[in-house]
Amino acid sequence: MKKNLYPFILWLAVAYVAIRSVLAFQKIAWGTGVWYGEYSLKWGVLYFLFFIVCAFMVVAVWLLLWRRDNINALLEKLIAIRERLGIARWLFVVPIFFAPVWFFQYTPWGVVFSDVYIRLLTWVFVAAFLSFLAASGNVVSGWKEFLIVILLTSAEFVIAVPFMNVTDYPFSLGWSEGNRMWDYSILFGRDLYDYPADGEIFVLLDVGRQFVGGLPFIFPGITIKMERFWVALTVIIPYLLLGLAAFRSVRPNVKAWLLGAAWVLIFLKQGPIHPPLILSAAVVALLWKRPLWLAIPLIAFTAYLTEESRFTWVFAPGLWIAMLEMAGASLLNGKLSRETWVRTISLGLAGFVGGQFGQQIAGLFAGTAIGAATSVDQVVTMVSTPTEPLLWYRLLPNATYGVGIIVGLLIATLPLIALLIYLIVSKKWQPNPWQKLSMLGPLSAFLVVGFIVSTKIGGGGDLHNMDMFLITLVFVTILAWRDSGSGLFSDVNVLPTWVKITFILLFALPGFHSLTEMRGFDFGEDAKWLMTLTDVTDEKFLAMYPSSEAANHSLDVIRQEVERVRSQNGDVLFLDQRQLLTFGYVSNVPLIPEYEKKILMTQALSSDHAYFENFYTDLKNHRFELIVSEPLRTPVKDSSFEFGEENNAWVTWVSNPVLCYYEPIEILKEVNVHLLVPKSEPVDCSAFLP
């Protein structure tokens, strides 16, 4: 009974996806004409053909699972054709492999065929065809080939998504995207701005992320499209570097090495995780098993740099290197050697000292006194007495993050955890109690910290605050792989069926999310027929970038207003859209670095009255003759809305006060920009100030 259960479930799943895909295609085709009902001739024929293909697939899977003898002759002919092709089969592999990304992300059809079941069906077709072409001998395909194809296509989707927004569109593509590029520019490109050379420019971004994101500003003439391309690379390359470093023990087997790096990429992108922590983990992986004279100072320095990027990461390098050294050591009669204990303790302490006291040590060398407070103190304070509200409901399904942190984390990690447990239960991997403790300790600590930080107001929108936990889980996987896991994958055909399915989930779930996200935004000229096929009633629901004409018109309006104000020596505050200054779309404007929107939001979430006193005074005195901002709205929302509490903090501390003292003079709806000027009549705004 059990033997037939898995094939039946597989067939039901295929049939369900096929039926849902047919229904989704019908919605696209219906309403395109009057040839038959509301089908046009073209779309009616396409719908009929799609129905036939889906029906054929369901029948074919049935035959493969239960009536294979009836189609053996056909399968043998297909195998013979494949074998005769030899290396020429790659002429088919490459275009088929890249076809989904091209179709969904770089053609307008990606907007039309956005249905999740159509995309999943496309992936199944591509994976089946590629695994058939990758197989050899007298088999149609093998589990190993199929799993590798799923892993590689999943990685392809994950890599493609960050490049969706590589465009020369001058305005911000998201709430903070434009201003974030301004943040990146300050470290190496502050000469782009009209601001005193000795003046301090505060940026709400750690030095590590400034460095990584700001490297292109070393070169003059960097464009917004180049920077966006670089930013896309920075959320891909560090993950691959970590994967290559972590799997370096299998480097002689180049294929396994690269596949391991690809898995690390797709697994950790489920966070996602900021590049500095990823790079720190890569250094830790490289220092693992290195001579102590080299590893001790470098792990201390790595911990210092990691803490400088974000104080909550202070423990990570030390715990990681200690875990790798202890759990990755060879056992003698089931016990750890003295050398292992020495390496574990010395490297762990070096990481702790570097993270905890690195600032003080650096200050001594520089002749600068540093306060006694440490990052450990900050972490303890954050956990024990948080200064910002903790929204515990975001651990559960909610409007801000649909499935909630707990369920989202389970979806991301449960297949991997199940495989690790299988290795231990089946005795393929047998760490001793100390080794288990060295892994469970960091995992538990980082899990707790991740949950707490995820519930802070401003967080909980994804799994990025589970960063240390996810990386630790990757390191645990590397340890299991070195001891026994590599054999698990090489002998996948003999594994229990549920383990094979778990491998599929492990490789497919990260890519599935990216597959559903892929689309293009530069197809405004196709809006008319796209509206027909997608059944939207307004072009704005297509979420396309505004046309070049609209963007250029908005830029002209902003330049004219800026020039008017500057001709009278007035001040212009770019509360938002600071990338217009960074890339020279607006010039000859003295920079006012304070009151940037992300800083205002951070202070609003902390209810920082002292910070806002100066802001409200400047507003009351009409210091700024022009404010460039996103649309400021005042509705108060509850937790049933996405980021409802954050919205309310922004409304209370920013929107209401600004709109009391200022009013819009230009509303550039297409590019989501408002230009505000002081109200002509004095206003008592005391009732609007928190």
- For 578-602, how does the pLDDT look when each residue is reduced to its tens digit (9 = 90+)? 999 999 999 989 999 999 999 999 9
Alpha-carbon span 98 to 102, nearest angstrom = 6
pLDDT tens digits, 154-166: 999 999 999 999 9
CA distance 590 to 199: 12
Predicted local distance difference test score (pLDDT) of residue 361: 62
Contact 581, 182 (CB under 8 A): yes
Tally the C-alpha atoms within 13 A of residue 295's C-alpha that lie toward its C-beta. Answer: 24
Task: Tell me the pTM.
Answer: 0.92
Confidence of residue 332 (pLDDT cuts 50, 70, 90): confident
Q: What is the 3-state secondary structure (H, E, C) of 612-644?
A: HHHHHHHHHCCCEEEEEECCCCCCCCCCCCCCH
Q: What is the pLDDT of residue 379?
A: 55
Average pLDDT over every residue of 549-561 = 94
Surface-to-core class of residue 191, CB atoms within 10 Å of its CB (0-12 exposed, 13-18 middle, 19+ buried): exposed
Query: Which percentage of the chain shows pLDDT scores above 70?
Result: 94
User: How confident is the model at residue 9, as a pLDDT?
Assistant: 87
Mean predicted lDDT score pLDDT of the chain = 89
Alpha-carbon distance of 269 to 466, in angstroms, equals: 11
Cα gap 530→533, rounded to integer Å = 5
- How does pLDDT run across 243-275, given as a tens digit for each residue? 999 988 776 788 889 999 999 999 999 988 989
Where is average pLDDT lowest: 95-99, 154-158, 330-334?
Answer: 330-334
For the ranges 195-199, 363-367, 462-466, 520-524, which has the lowest average pLDDT? 363-367
- With 90 as the cut, is the pLDDT of residue 333 above it? no
Choose between 375 and 20: higher pLDDT.
20
In the predicted structure, residue 130 carries a pLDDT above the cut 90: yes
Question: How far, in Å, CA of 671 to CA of 659, rounded?
Answer: 20
Stretch 99-121: mean pLDDT, rounded? Answer: 95
- The better pLDDT of the pair 248, 384 is held by 248
pLDDT of residue 383: 55
Q: Which amino acid is at 171?
A: F
| Tokens matching residue 586 | 């607006």
Residues 445-482: b if buried by 16+ CB within 10 A, e if exposed:
bbbebbbbbbbbbbbbeebbbbbbbbbbbbbbbbbbbe
Q: What share of the chain is helix, strand, coil (3-state, %, to 5)?
A: 70, 5, 25
pLDDT at residue 268, as a whole number: 96
Residue 376: pLDDT over 60: no
Q: Which pLDDT score is estimated for 596?
A: 93
**SS3 call for 333:** coil
Phi, psi of 520, deg, nearest 5: -110, 160
More confident residue, 258 or 381: 258
Q: How far apart are CA 19 and CA 22, in angstroms?
A: 5
**What integer is the mean pLDDT of 462-491?**
85
The confidence band for 371, taking pLDDT boundaries of 50, 70 and 90, is: very low
pLDDT band of 142, cuts 50, 70, 90: confident
According to the model, what pLDDT value does residue 510 have? 95
Token digits of residue 426: 């089946």
Helix, strand or coil, per DSSP, at residue 332: strand
Q: How confident is the model at residue 86 (pLDDT cuts 50, 70, 90)?
A: confident
3-state class of 479 per DSSP?
Answer: helix
Judge whether 278 and 238 are in contact, CB under 8 Å: yes
Q: Which positions ≥6 away from 278 have C-beta within 8 Å?
A: 238, 239, 241, 242, 268, 471
Is the pLDDT score of 377 beyond 60? Answer: no
Alpha helices in 525-608 (DSSP H): 527-534, 548-567, 579-582, 597-605
Find the farthest-apart pair of alpha carbons in the chain and give their distance in angstroms, rounded.
89
Partners of 194 in the beta sheet?
A: 590
- Residue 626: per-residue pLDDT: 96
Residue positions counted in the chain: 690
Helices (H), 426-578: 433-455, 467-480, 486-490, 497-517, 527-534, 548-567
Model confidence at 486: pLDDT above 80: no
**492 pLDDT band (50/70/90 cuts)?**
confident
Helices (H), 288-337: 292-309, 316-327
| The two structure tokens encoding residue 348 | 């762990």
Q: What percent of the chain has pLDDT over 90?
A: 60
CA distances from 678 to 281, 336, 614, 645 (A): 50, 72, 17, 28
Mean pLDDT along residues 506-517: 95
378-417 burial by CB neighbour count: b if 16+ within 10 A, else e?
A: ebeebeeeeebebbeebbeebebbeebbeebbebbbebbe
The pLDDT of 512-524, averaged and rounded, is 92
Angle at 669 between CA 664 and CA 674, to 5 degrees: 30
Question: What pLDDT does residue 1 have?
Answer: 47
